[in-house]
């Protein structure tokens, strides 16, 4: 395969459709840098991206790999190769899904072992003392703790809480940006990760389950992600 030829072909098809590199990247869930590399002939799309990329450019997978349109006399051959390529893509996707599921299960088992060990050593098991402690450390009314700190003029604790949650929000946001650069479900992922973090903190009795912490981290996280998106748009323009 001629990388330079394929790159020029992708670039031509993209511009014919009046798409920016960023718009095409978002549609197939990759970064605009990846599109730029392909168009410069530096690399090839991953096998799992051949089908969505060819669909967005309105060409067959074989035409994408050849870097040119194919005439009608090779239509039969093209159909056979497309079927083969689509089968290979499906096998590749299934393999990746199986690996991801295996890693998730192993990680879940690891956390479960830590969780059980923690409670068996600290509380002697799941007893009434632990359950009572959990129910006594829940704050579900938004900004109730923030209001209490302000009323009690406990400024240092209030500032420390904002700083700690902001730092956690930065870490979570950068994680989302790094692994889900073109995902449109930023808010959903941000909310789920913050909720899981708060649940972990609460179940391990590190702190209370505070709805304020989740709200603060989500607000800061959205600001970080919005700034990242704006900077990316400026770079593309």
Concatenating the DSSP letter of every residue in 29-88 gives T--HHHHHHHHTTS----GGGHHHHHHHHTS-HHHHHHTS---GGGHHHHHHHHHHHHHH
Q: Give residue 155's pLDDT.
A: 80
pLDDT, residue 167, reads: 92
Pull the structure tokens for residue 71: 């005439």
What residues of the chain score a pLDDT lower than 50?
236-237
CA distance 164 to 142: 18
d(CA 32, CA 41): 14
Domains and CATH numbers, the chain: 3-77 (1.10.260.40), 127-236 (no CATH)
Q: Could you give the count of Cα atoms lying within 13 Å of 194 in the half-sphere of its Cβ?
A: 27
* Tens digits of residue pLDDT in 215-231: 999 999 989 888 887 77
pLDDT, tens digit (0-9, with 9 covering 90-100), for 74-84: 555 556 566 56
Strand, helix or coil for residue 138:
strand
* pLDDT in the model for residue 219: 92
CA atoms within 13 A on the CB side of 92: 12
Confidence at residue 220, expressed as pLDDT on a 0 to 100 scale: 92
């Amino acid at each position: 395969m001629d990388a330079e030829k394929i790159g020029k072909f992708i670039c031509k098809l993209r511009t014919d459709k009046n798409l920016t590199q960023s718009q095409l990247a978002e549609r197939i869930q990759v970064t605009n840098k990846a599109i730029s590399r392909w168009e410069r002939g530096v690399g090839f799309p991953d096998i799992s991206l051949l089908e969505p990329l060819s669909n967005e450019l309105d060409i067959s997978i074989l035409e994408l790999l050849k870097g040119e349109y194919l005439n009608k006399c090779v239509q039969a051959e093209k159909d056979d190769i497309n079927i083969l390529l689509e089968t290979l893509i499906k096998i590749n996707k299934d393999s990746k899904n199986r690996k991801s599921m295996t890693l998730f299960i192993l990680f879940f088992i690891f956390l479960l072992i830590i969780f059980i060990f923690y409670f068996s050593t600290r509380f002697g098991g799941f007893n009434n003392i632990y359950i009572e402690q959990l129910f006594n450390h829940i704050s579900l009314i938004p900004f109730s703790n923030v209001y209490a700190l302000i009323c009690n003029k406990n400024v240092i604790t209030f500032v420390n809480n904002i700083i700690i949650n902001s730092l956690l929000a930065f870490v979570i946001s950068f994680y989302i940006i790094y692994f889900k650069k073109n995902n449109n479900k930023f808010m959903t992922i941000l909310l789920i990760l913050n909720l899981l973090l708060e649940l972990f903190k609460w179940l391990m009795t590190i702190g209370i389950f505070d709805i304020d912490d989740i709200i603060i981290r989500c607000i800061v996280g959205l600001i970080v992600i919005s700034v990242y998106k704006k900077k990316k748009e400026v770079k593309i323009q």
